[in-house]
Amino acid sequence: MTILVTGGTGTLGTPTVALLRDDGHDVRVLSRSASPSTGRAAAPGATVVTGDLTTGQGLREAFDGVQTVLHLATRGPRADVEMGRRLVAAAQDASVGHVVLVSIVGVDQIPLGYYRAKLEVEQMLTASGLPHTILRATQFHEFVDGLFAAQHLSPALLTPWLQVQPIAVPEVAARLVEIVGAGPSGRAADIGGPERITGREAARAWLRATGRRRAVVRVRLPGRTFGAYAAGHHLVPGEPYGTQTYGQHLLARYGPPR
């Protein structure tokens, strides 16, 4: 089938597009520029088509003849809502048979602005009448890395007083390909990584993997947002989907502990 992928050169989009191509699909990657000067190139065999979800320019042509759309692009709360609105309208105009949306576990329970925007796009798609599937995943291993790497100038590594359940990006990509093959199913079962670890455990593992030496300080924050995290609304109960642990991710990315 012909599949249009937004965010097709991003962290999740790149492996997803490659797997879709391996499955024999005709894949289009939506880009704001026909010859982007920055960012990664699309996976081999994919066609780059020009269209801007923030303005609507070029979307009619980009969506023409498309059977399935995977919406993986994200640019922040305000932009995400506008992109979702334009994507839904374009999919309706093109009579797209399946829209797949990636979201985050806990968007309906955790009052972050970014999460609220994700939830609004979910609700928009659900109310659109389009055949669709919404997949919520826990945060990626790379997200946890980024939380620690952003503190490179801090004398101590701050980590929240809660558990995390990160998942490997290739495993989310594989699940998306399964969803494409299965067809629209509404709200798919949430997926998460194979283990729940504390923020302190993750921080210490990251320090070992990157060869850094710093104290790890756990922090508690006031307010509803931290309370929602502390209640575990960002975690997936029951049997996990993912198999790669955070430690295995660190080994693959950084090599043996230093």
Per-residue model confidence (pLDDT) at position 95? 97
Q: Which amino acid is at 132?
A: H
Given a contact cutoff of 8 angstroms between Cβ atoms, the answer to whether 137 and 102 are in contact is: yes
pLDDT in tens, 193-251: 999 999 999 999 999 999 999 999 999 888 999 999 999 999 998 888 899 999 999 99
Amino acid (one-letter) located at 254: Y
pLDDT at 34 over 70: no
Write down the mean pLDDT value for the chain: 94
CA distances from 150 to 43, 114, 129, 143, 146 (A): 29, 19, 41, 11, 6
Q: What structural domains does the chain harbor? A: 2-138+168-187 (3.40.50.720)
31: CB partners within 8 A, 6+ apart: 8, 9, 42, 48, 49, 50, 51
- The answer to whether 51 and 87 have CB atoms below 8 angstroms apart is no
Q: Calculate mean pLDDT across residues 47-74.
A: 96
pLDDT, average across residues 100-129 = 97
pLDDT at 254: 93
Q: How far is CA 256 from CA 197, 204, 210, 247, in A?
A: 20, 14, 9, 10
Q: What is the mean pLDDT of residues 136-140?
A: 97
Does residue 39 register a pLDDT over 70? no
Q: Report the helix count and the strand count for the chain, using DSSP H and E.
A: 9, 11
Banded pLDDT at 93 (limits 50, 70, 90): very high
Per-residue confidence (pLDDT) for residue 176, from 0 to 100? 98
Lowest mean pLDDT, pick from 51-55, 70-74, 217-221, 241-245: 217-221
Q: Are 50 and 32 in contact (CB under 8 A)?
A: yes
- pTM of full prediction above 0.85: yes
In this structure, how many other beta carbons lie within 10 angstroms of the beta carbon of residue 93?
Answer: 12
Side-chain half-sphere CA neighbours of 81 within 13 A = 10
Per-residue pLDDT tens digits for 155-199: 999 998 899 999 999 999 999 999 999 999 999 999 999 999 999
